[in-house]
Structure 1
Amino acid sequence: MPTLGIARLLDAYFRRRLATAGLVEASVPLDGGTTTVHCWRFPPGADDVRPVLVLLHGFGPPATWQWRRQVGPLSRRFRLIVPDLLFFGGSGTAAPGARSEAHQAEAVAKLVAAVVPPGTRVSVAGTSYGGFVAYHMARLLGPAAVERVVIASSDLLKADADDRALLHRGGAECVEDVMLPRSPEQMQRLLQLAYHRRRRYTPGFVLRDLVQYLYSDKVEEKKELIRGITLGNKDKFQLTPLSQEVLVLWGEHDQIFPIEKAFQVARRLGANARLEVLKDTGHMPQEEDPKRFNEALLNFLLPASKSSL
């Protein structure tokens, strides 16, 4: 039975929101053309002194879906770079190597070097899986290149026990079944886990359309990304404090990464990290309460301004 194409219409609308915010779409070749990163970015060539902010999306839909409520307000104060991570949206690579969040961070760092004037410091904000990438990018480039870091809804201390708890909440046998839904039922459960205030019934044909449009591309590569996460593997990853100022931003009722992990992450990140909890939100506070989320970003990244969006 054919769908109504609701996901395609939403995608067009979300892309339009980024364009209206003044961002331009680009596909940037890296590594001699073996890697391509698709992104939305500030217009090149303009005489613009605003600071640069990189927004990194989480596992799931492309960047246009996950940052659509941020780009308008934030573009007034920042030159934005909003990439699709590798194997999401139009980004991908044929280069060999581990499919890890550290590998993603290297690609984002190369993208920034390709589109930002030399010597320009940037700030980076990542949500969920994007927070893993933001942490690695900040550690890779250091404070000389990355000024401030936002880790949103992102359990940098994720371990096997956390995955088992997630599977119990999600009624699934493996993490791939939670994060890569293949049926309307799995899609519905993921939405229930991601949003705290989700109460409306979603028709099956809409859920089926979302699965087909958002979760049918590069499935095997995304499974490799899940298996390649180094967090929780003591032989591959040790969480250490960052030299930069860090904001840990979390939804009070997060069911993907529960709120108690937020306090642990903030403590482990050291004296330069502070935690802000957004009440009455879940794993997607940037969508459930974009005004407070955006204000938290602005007040942290531009502390001198302290003005409402």
Structure 2
Amino acid sequence: MAGCFSFTASRDRCYRLSFSNAGLKSTTTDLGHTTIMHCWIPKSHKPSKPSLLLLHGMGANAMWQWNEFISPLTRRFNVYVPDLLFFGESHTTQPDRSESFQAQCVAALMESHGVRLMNLVGISYGGFVGYSMAAQFPERVEKVVLCCAGVCLEDKDMNDGLFVIKSVDEAATILLPQTPEKMKQLVKLTFVKPIKVMPSCFLTDFIDVMCTEYRQEKKELIETLYHDRKLSNLPKITQRTLIIWGEQDQVFPLELAHRLERHLGENARLVVVKNAGHALNLEKPKELYKILKSFLIDSITPSAQENHSNGHKLD
């Protein structure tokens, strides 16, 4: 589509303007060892505000996944929105593909911006990275929100039939779509009510702009998530943690949310959003913001905490 109008590139420019209007600026940081990370940071960090780190999942760059939340959150927080390695403008030649390495890089990035204490929200893959950050740097992470992040999965779950997808290779072909047909399959998998009309020309444009770069590296990220993963090896983070899940998530089934709540015990609360799938941030942004606000900003009464436990559902 070279030389033609790109809807995806145009939308990306709109998101850049949106982030800038919300008081953020685009920065690129050299962390050394051939590792570069891009991050949206406050144009003016206000010491009176707490800091909030937003970690995206698989898919397009961070702007596409967090745009709906930026304006209201920047009024309350110093918001930091990085592109994880191999997304957007972040990259490395280091061979490590673990979420542990991603977490170390994000921690170094935040330290480079002078942020020593933060709350964090991680969606899907970003939740894996956020959980690892909370485990590795407990003194730097205050509250944790994990959205549809199957950190409690085990490598045997796929063979046991827990997932709709039957192999890691199949997961990679869908989560990293290279054809309009695979993109439609991804939308159907992640939304409860997917868009019915999706012209192939628009899907091809999106794939060309967002899904072709670093595809092999992203595939390795997915493979590493599942490789030799066991619940017994997952550390228990000590921070107050909110788990948010779409009731009809087909990527990481709801069983994983309950498993994570049991694993963390009294430090964790689970909120299940009805009529929502894996793409919770795109499908139910207003509901998700309301939940984030109550946990991160509003004071929560003991009775409200009880409602959040045991998989309380929100319409």
Q: Verify the 8 A CA contact 1:193 1:255 in the aligned structure 2.
A: yes
Q: Verify the 8 A CA contact 1:166 1:256 in the aligned structure 2.
A: no
Within the alignment, does 1:180 sit opposite 2:176 as a pair? yes
Q: Verify the 8 A CA contact 1:100 1:230 in the aligned structure 2.
A: no
Q: Verify the 8 A CA contact 1:167 1:173 in the aligned structure 2.
A: no
Listed as ranges, the matches of 1:90-105 within 5 Å are 90-94=89-93, 96-105=94-103
Q: Verify the 8 A CA contact 1:84 1:90 in the aligned structure 2.
A: yes
Aligned residue in 1 for 2:69 = 70
1:150 pairs, out of 145, 149, 152, with: 145
Structure 2 vs 1, CA of residues 60 and 170 (structure 1 numbering), >3 Å: closer, same or farther?
A: farther
CA shift for structure 1 position 60 = 1.3
Within the alignment, does 1:212 sit opposite 2:215 as a pair? no
Aligned residue in 2 for 1:88 = 87
Aligned residue in 2 for 1:274 = 269
Q: Counterparts of 2:293 and 2:214 in 1: how far apart (Å)?
A: 34
Q: Verify the 8 A CA contact 1:138 1:146 in the aligned structure 2.
A: yes
Q: Counterparts of 1:115 and 1:289 in 2: how far apart (Å)?
A: 31
Aligned residue in 2 for 1:116 = 114
Q: Counterparts of 1:141 and 1:13 in 2: how far apart (Å)?
A: 35
Q: Counterparts of 1:35 and 1:172 in 2: how far apart (Å)?
A: 27
* Aligned partner letter, 1:55: L
Q: Which moved more, 1:204-213 or 1:153-162?
A: 153-162
Q: Verify the 8 A CA contact 2:165 2:171 in the aligned structure 1.
A: no
Q: Verify the 8 A CA contact 1:252 1:259 in the aligned structure 2.
A: yes
Q: Counterparts of 2:206 and 2:249 in 1: how far apart (Å)?
A: 22
Q: Counterparts of 1:7 and 1:194 in 2: how far apart (Å)?
A: 20
Q: Verify the 8 A CA contact 1:24 1:40 in the aligned structure 2.
A: yes
* Aligned partner letter, 1:264: R
Listed as ranges, the matches of 1:139-288 within 5 Å are 139-142=135-138, 144-163=139-158, 165=161, 168-169=164-165, 174-229=170-225, 233-234=229-230, 238-288=233-283
Q: Provide, for residues 144-177 of structure 1, a one-character-per-residue CA deviation record: whole Å limited to 9, x for no partner.
A: 2110001101111223354465874589952211
Q: Counterparts of 2:114 and 2:210 in 1: how far apart (Å)?
A: 30
User: SS in structure 2 opposite 1:253?
Assistant: coil
Listed as ranges, the matches of 1:292-303 within 5 Å are 292-303=287-298
User: SS in structure 1 opposite 2:144?
Assistant: strand
Name the count of aligned residue pairs: 299
Structure 2 vs 1, CA of residues 216 and 148 (structure 1 numbering), >3 Å: closer, same or farther?
A: same
Gaps of 5+ in 2: 302-315
- Structure 1 length normalisation: TM-score? 0.90
Aligned residue in 1 for 2:40 = 40
Q: Counterparts of 1:231 and 1:137 in 2: how far apart (Å)?
A: 20
Q: Verify the 8 A CA contact 2:144 2:240 in the aligned structure 1.
A: yes
Gaps of 5+ in 1: none
Q: Verify the 8 A CA contact 1:157 1:231 in the aligned structure 2.
A: no
CA shift for structure 1 position 18 = 1.1
Q: Counterparts of 1:171 and 1:98 in 2: how far apart (Å)?
A: 22
CA shift for structure 1 position 35 = 1.1
Aligned residue in 1 for 2:28 = 27
Q: Provide, for residues 45-75 of structure 1, a one-character-per-residue CA deviation record: whole Å limited to 9, x for no partner.
A: x443100000000011110000011111111
